[in-house]
Every structure is written in C-alpha cells, then in structure tokens.
Amino acid sequence: MATPMMTCFQERVEQVIERLHDVDAVKFGNFTLKSGIQSPVYFDLRVMISHPDIMVEVSKLLWDKISTSKFDSLCGVPYTALPIATLMSAANDVPMLIRRKEAKGYGTNKLIEGKFKEGDSCFIVEDVVSSGSSILETAQSLSSSGLVVKEAVVLLNREQGGVEKLDANGIVLHSVFTMTDVLNVLSKRGKMKPDMVTTVAEYIAANKFQPNKEILSAKPKINDVLKYSERAAMCTNELSRRLFGIMDKKKSNLALSADVTSSKELLQLVDKTGPHVCMVKTHVDILEDFNQEVVEKLTSLAAKHNFVLFEDRKFADIGNTVMHQYSGGVYHISEWADLINAHAVPGPGVIHGLKKIGASKGRACLLIAEMSSSGNLAKGSYSQDTVKMAEENKDFVIGFICVSKVSSDPTFLHMTPGVQLEAGKDNLGQQYLTPSEVIGNRGSDIMIVGRGIYQAQDPALAAKQFQIAGYDAYMARMAEAMIV
C-alpha cells in the first residue's frame, strides 16, 4: 500500500519489485553463481520477456529516470537489456544502437549496428549491475567505434561496487532501485522472512567489488586479475617481459597467423594489420619465394609496429638436429625470429638444443602442451609432463601453445590457436573457439588468428575487430575475477 507521502514513481517501483518477485525473476535460497560464489539471492530478469506488462513498465521507469539527460542514442547491453532498450527507443522516438557481442566476420563486419557519427553520445541501458563489468565492456566497444559514453541506467543496482567502478571509468550510473530497496519492499509486503533479509544484506555487504584489494584478495585466480604490466614486472625472461609490455601498451592480445604463400602478400598483410597485433606468427617454409630480404623487411615491420615475431616451426627432433634446423638451412630462423616453439615428445633434449642456439640471442621458446585440431594426442598426462618440462627450463621456455589454461604461473604465457569470431570447424579438423571463450572463459593470454583475418575482405578491419573482442574479453575477465 502506498503511503500518502509516497511519490507515484516510488509506488510504481514497489509494484514492479513485487511483480518481479511473483514471476520468479528474484529468488532467495542457495545459488551457485557463474564465478563459483554461493549466493542467497538470484536475479533472472530474462523471465520478463514472458510478461509484456512488466517489460513495458520497466522500460517506462528506466526512461523516467533518464528523461532529463541529453543523448543521441540508446544501447542495451546484450542480451536481457536489448528488448528493454527497444521499448524505450520506440516509445520515445530516440534512435537505438546494438552492440554485437562478436562481429559477423563477413559483410560489413561491424561491432555496432545502427546509424551514428563520431562524437555522438550514447546512453547505455542494463537490467542488473553488480561489478559494472558488462556495462564497461559495452562502453568500451561503443567508444572504440567513436561514440561518447558518459551515462548508463540500470533497473537494479546490486550495490556490489558497480557505481564506483563505472565512476572510476567516467560513467555515471543511474538506477531505478537498489538491492536494499528490494529487501525493504519485499519484507514490508510480507514476501521475505526477516532472517533471509539479514542473510542477503550480509552477503551483499561482504561481496563488494573492491578495486584496491584486487591482488591481495584474488586467491584462486591470481593470474586472472594481474594486469599485463604487473605480469611483465614479474618475468625474468626479457622476451616475455617485452611481450607483456607490448600487450599492455597496444591493448592487444592478438597474434596474427600470417599463413600466406607469397612474400609480397605477407609483407602487405603484416604492414596493414601491424597496429592491431602484439605478435605475428609465420610459417616461412610455406613461402614460395622465400629469401633473406623478406625476413629483413619483416623485422623492420616488427620494429615499426612494435610486435614480436614468432616462427611456428614446431621443432620435434633430438637436440643436435634441432640446433641445425634452428640456426642453419635456408631459413636461419634463430637470426630473426624472437620466438619459436617445440613439441615435448623428444624429451628435454629438444629444449636444450634450441637453448644452446637461441638463449644468447635473447630468443625464447613455447612448448606445445595442447593442440586445436580434433583427435590430437596432446592431452592428459602428456600435457602435464610438458608443463613440468617448461617449469624445469624457465630460462628459455616462456609459455605454451594450448587450448586451456595449463599452468597457474603468471609468468607463463598461454597462446591459443583455432580462433574465429564464431565457433566452428574447418574441413580438415581445425576447431574454432571465439575470443570471449578463449580469453574470457579459458583464461588464455594470446589468441592466434589466421584465416579469420587474412581471408577477410578487409584484413586490417578484421584485425581491429579481433583486437577489440580479445581485449574486451580480457577486461571482462579481470573485472569478474575481482569480485571477491
């Protein structure tokens, strides 16, 4: 019941909170969140789409909250807020933008759909905010497309640090109601027992995102919350330190796999995509016209665009043979490649042979702990033994080719091939995962992308899109891991 003092807006808010509870969009009990944390409260506002009356009222409340602000367009955070933003846009005749979670990889390949010009302001709409990372991720995509994001509106602020985090990133968050409002309204209306109100209030207070505590409190996920710059400072190997530094400076965790067969094409591709990558990976033995001039030009491009050169030679022989393969033959790989890789199958001799040639030149090596192709044998105890071999040779081995996180040592790099903007397969067993799966969910550091870039109509644009997708996934992973 509304008190005489209660404003119409407050009364509408209370009614919506009660309706959301009645349709099970707000539940109390014992739930395991995506982060693994146990929570006594769970919000699933997606159920609103089955209740058009709630959707309409929610969109009106959100609009009433922001109607005095000035902006050129609205953008709902995918996916729950998309229909809400659509209702707000249509009812108030304000244009809307849609942020794709991932670019299509064909056609215009845009990450932001809708009409806008550089410098236009965009207001973000979201259903629930806890740490603020989803809004931040959307804001980053909008900003990298030239839009200005200064404000966001949310139906429910869980009061877990989202306001502070967004504020630190220059975004003002407006909310229709908070978690405290939910507890007050539901207990007042007899929908919650007092002991549950206390349990939820204590849980919320104890689970706030605290930016300054990130390293101290991030017990099980330490290398998920360490920034590239912090990991650079922990590395004793000069090349891994340089690589983390480049990733930090260029905001890129993208390695281009430049698997083209003509030198001219290779150099043009690398020059165009160079601004977006932290690394270029080559297979020089597929070049039909290899000569020393090509590697000289490649190393100049590496200096021009500041990336690391990785020759994906996959050494797999006894130490004495790999020494010759690395330093001699036609390619003289040790003269120009910063980074090489090796299979662990021959035993540690392969690393010792390569180290004899490469260590004094400041080179380093990755071990292939896992592969992306279907039916491959690099798994289980083989992968674990590969990690042990790397740990015993940390002066030269700086990480892994892998498709999952194989070590928790933050100085090791995890690099994952088989990445496209959409998951799938080729017809020869290559298996593709998306940037958000590889960097965000699996915790890899660098995604290796070949055909997704060099077969795109505009490889520079595709590289930029992978760069944004990979970096957004890294930022989201960091933000999520920081919620303690």
End-to-end distance of the chain based on CA atoms, in angstroms? 38
Which CB, 175 or 253, lies closer to ligand LLZGTKA7? 253
- Is 451 a known ligand-binding residue? yes
Closer residue to ligand LLZGTKA7 in complex, CB, 244/466: 466
Residues facing residue 331 across a β-bridge: none
* Residue nearest to ligand LLZGTKA7 according to CB distances in the complex: 450
The one-letter amino acid code at 53 reads: D
Residues that bind ligand LLZGTKA7 (CB under 6 A): 257, 259, 283, 312, 371-373, 401, 417-418, 430, 448-452
* 349 annotated to bind ligand: no
Residue with smaller CB distance to ligand LLZGTKA7, 98 or 460: 460
H or E stretch covering 430: none
259 is in an annotated binding site: yes
Q: Which is nearer to ligand LLZGTKA7, 226 or 401 (CB)?
A: 401
Single-letter amino acid code for the residue at 237: N
Considering the complex, what minimum distance in angstroms separates the CB of residue 139 from ligand LLZGTKA7?
29
Write down the least CB distance from residue 449 to ligand LLZGTKA7, Å.
5
CA distance 421 to 441: 15
CB nearer ligand LLZGTKA7, residue 42 or residue 382: 382
Helix (H) or strand (E) holding 31: strand 26-32
Q: From CA 442, how far away is CA 414, in angstroms rounded?
A: 10
What does the alpha-carbon distance between residue 422 and residue 435 come to, in Å, rounded to a whole number?
Answer: 9
| Residue tagged active-site, from 317, 356, 394, 405 | 317
CB 313 within 8 A of CB 343: no
CB of 420 to ligand LLZGTKA7, least distance (A): 7
Determine what percent of the chain falls in helix, strand and coil, rounding each to the nearest 5: 45, 20, 35
Least distance to ligand LLZGTKA7, CB of residue 247, Å: 19
Tokens of 55: 């959707």
Q: Is 334 annotated as a binding residue?
A: no
Active-site entry in 127, 312, 338, 445:
312
Rg (CA), the chain: 26
| 100 in a labelled binding site | no
Residue partners of 177: CB distance under 8 A and separation at least 6: 13, 16, 17, 155, 156, 157
DSSP H helical segments within 392-458, as ranges?
435, 451-454
Give yes or no: 314 in active site: yes
Provide the total of helices (H) and of strands (E) in the chain, helices listed first.
20, 18
Q: How far is the CB of 148 from ligand LLZGTKA7 (least distance, A)?
A: 34
Contact 54, 19 (CB under 8 A): yes
Whether residue 285 lies in the annotated active site: no
Shortest CB 35 distance to ligand LLZGTKA7, Å:
29
Taking the least distance from each CB to ligand LLZGTKA7, the nearer of 74 and 401 is 401
CA angle 347, 353, 356 (to 5 degrees): 140
Closest approach, Cβ 284 to ligand LLZGTKA7, in A, equals: 12
Name which of 141 and 257 has its Cβ closer to ligand LLZGTKA7. 257
> 102: which 2 tokens?
């991932």
Beta carbon of residue 283, minimum distance to ligand LLZGTKA7 (angstroms, whole number): 6
> Torsion-angle region of residue 38: left (phi > 0), alpha (psi -120 to 50) or beta?
beta
To the query of whether residue 167 is one of the catalytic residues in this protein, the response is no
Q: Which is nearer to ligand LLZGTKA7, 165 or 281 (CB)?
A: 281
430 annotated to a ligand binding site: yes
The active-site residue, picked from 104, 314, 356, 394, is 314
CB of 388 to ligand LLZGTKA7, least distance (A): 20
Q: Three-state secondary structure along 272-334? A: HHHHHCCEEEECHHHCCCCCHHHHHHHHHHHHHHCCEEEEEEEECCCHHHHHHHHHCCCCCHH
Q: Which residues lie closer than 8 Å to 202 by C-beta, 6 or more apart?
A: none
What is d(CA 434, CA 103) in angstroms, rounded to the nearest whole number?
Answer: 11
Residue 235 CA to residue 228 CA, distance in Å, equals 11
Q: 75-114 burial, b for 16+ CB within 10 Å, e for fewer?
A: bbbeebbbbbbbbbbeeeebebbebbbbbebeeebebbee
- What would the two tokens of residue 252 be? 């890129």
* Cis check: omega of the bond before 106, within 30 degrees of 0: no
Cβ proximity to ligand LLZGTKA7, 372 vs 383, nearer residue: 372
Q: Which residues are annotated as a binding site?
A: 259, 281, 372, 430, 450-451
Known binding residues for substrate are 259, 281, 372, 430, 450-451
| Residues taking part in catalysis | 312, 314, 317
